[in-house]
Amino acid sequence: MEEAFKFQVNNQDFTVNCHPGTSLLTLLRQLGWFGVHRGCDRGDCGACTVWVNDIPIHSCIYPAMRIANQSVTTIEGLSENGELAPMQQAFLQGQGFQCGFCTPGMIMSAAKLPFASPEELRLALKGNLCRCTGYQAIIESILPTSPSPSLHLSDRVSPNKTVQQLSQAKHLTPQILCHLVYYILKYCDRLILTLTSAKLTANQPKHSLALLLSSLMQMSPG
């Protein structure tokens, strides 16, 4: 039996009828809020994260009728007057996304997460899964927005530092290789052009790798 109730979504008033078993995710998408993505439908992936009274929840397992007389915020409601919210801007500047499917949920969770270190941040994000495994870019995007004095930009992976380490190293260490692979994957859409300009050679592999990464950073907006 359907029941009617009132609530707000992004400061807009709604009155709807729905069945008791309807999830908040289904209701929001029926109302046209398609920034709330349907992923696992089991509360595992976090792609459907929204705020209910400013508290992040997984809307796929949240009964729609529980938002009666409550306020819901979706990714569409974060920006004001056409201006991106700080966390949205951070993800854009830090390129904290790949396919983008998990991004709305990541942003909604990240904007409310308490943490005092990168390690705590990674643990706090366990409820949001990235299918592209792009977690490092996500972490780097979130850290600069933290007010914690223990977190500084110098703590982030630095492309310039990686280039310097690669150029000076006698051997390619696992850490340098991991950073190199990360940046190649992060900017893979520019990789073909970069490979052409870097002119990799077999007799100078270490120098060529440094040149590749340096060229990759110069061609990338982030």
57 touches 50 (CB < 8 A): yes
Task: Indicate whether 55 and 117 sit together in one domain.
Answer: no
Confidence band, pLDDT 50/70/90 cuts, at residue 192: very low
Position 30 pLDDT exceeds 90 = yes
Residue 185 has pLDDT above 80, yes or no: no
Instruction: Indicate whether 183 pLDDT > 90.
Output: no
How many domains does the structure of the chain reveal? 3
Looking at the structure, do residues 71 and 9 belong to the same domain, yes or no? yes
CA–CA separation, 12 and 7 (whole Å)? 8
Q: Which of 48, 77, 106 is the last residue of a domain?
A: 77
Q: Please name the residues in contact with 109: beta carbons below 8 A apart, sequence gap of 6 or more.
A: 46, 49, 56, 124, 125, 127, 128
Mean pLDDT of the chain: 77
Q: Is the confidence at residue 24, as pLDDT, over 60? A: yes
- Checking if the pLDDT of 46 tops 90, the result is yes
42 phi/psi in degrees, rounded to 5: -130, 5
User: Domain containing 140 — which CATH number?
Assistant: 1.10.150.120
Q: Do residues 52 and 58 touch, judged by C-beta distance below 8 A?
A: no
Of residues 205 and 73, more confidently modeled: 73
Same domain flag for 200 and 171: yes
Q: Whole-angstrom Cα distance, residue 134 to residue 96?
A: 7
Instruction: Give the closest residue to 192 by CA, choosing from 167, 219, 221.
Output: 219
Q: Which of 59, 77, 95 is the last residue of a domain?
A: 77
Element at 168 (helix H, strand E): helix 159-168
Considering the entire predicted model, what is its pTM?
A: 0.65
* Total length of the chain: 222
Backbone angles phi, psi at 220, to 5 degrees: -100, 135
- Around Cβ 172, how many Cβ atoms within 10 Å? 14
Contact by Cβ (8 Å): 66, 25: no
pLDDT for residue 203? 47
Token reading at 9: 């979504």
With the CA atoms of 108, 113, 118 and 124 taken in that order, what torsion angle do they form, in degrees rounded to the nearest 10? -90
Please, which pLDDT band fits residue 115 given cuts at 50, 70 and 90? confident
The domain boundary residue, chosen from 105, 129, 155 = 155
Q: Are residues 136 and 97 in the same domain?
A: yes
Task: Verify that 31 and 96 share a domain, yes or no.
Answer: no
Q: From CA 180, how far away is CA 212, in angstroms rounded?
A: 9
H-helix or E-strand spanning residue 214: helix 205-219
Indicate whether 222 pLDDT > 50: no
The CATH number given to whatever domain includes residue 12 is 3.10.20.30
Distance of alpha carbon 147 from alpha carbon 117, whole angstroms? 11
Range of the domain at 116: 86-155
> How far apart, in whole angstroms, are the C-alpha atoms of residue 56 and residue 74?
10
- Does the pLDDT value for residue 173 go beyond 90? no
Look at residue 100 and tell me whether its pLDDT is greater than 80.
yes
Q: What is the pLDDT of residue 152?
A: 36
pLDDT of residue 15: 96
Query: Mean of the pLDDT values across residues 67-86?
Result: 94
Q: Are residues 176 and 210 in the same domain?
A: yes
Tell me, yes or no, whether 64 and 109 share the same domain. no
Please tell me which residue, 64 or 171, carries the higher pLDDT value: 64
More confident residue, 204 or 5: 5
Which residue has 């409310």 as its token pair?
Answer: 112
Q: Are residues 165 and 143 in the same domain?
A: no
Q: Are residues 105 and 150 in the same domain?
A: yes
pLDDT at residue 5 above 70?
A: yes
41 with 101, same domain: the answer is no
Give the number of other CB atoms < 10 A from CB of residue 40: 14
Residues 40 and 102 in one domain: no
Q: Are both 177 and 212 inside the same structural domain? A: yes
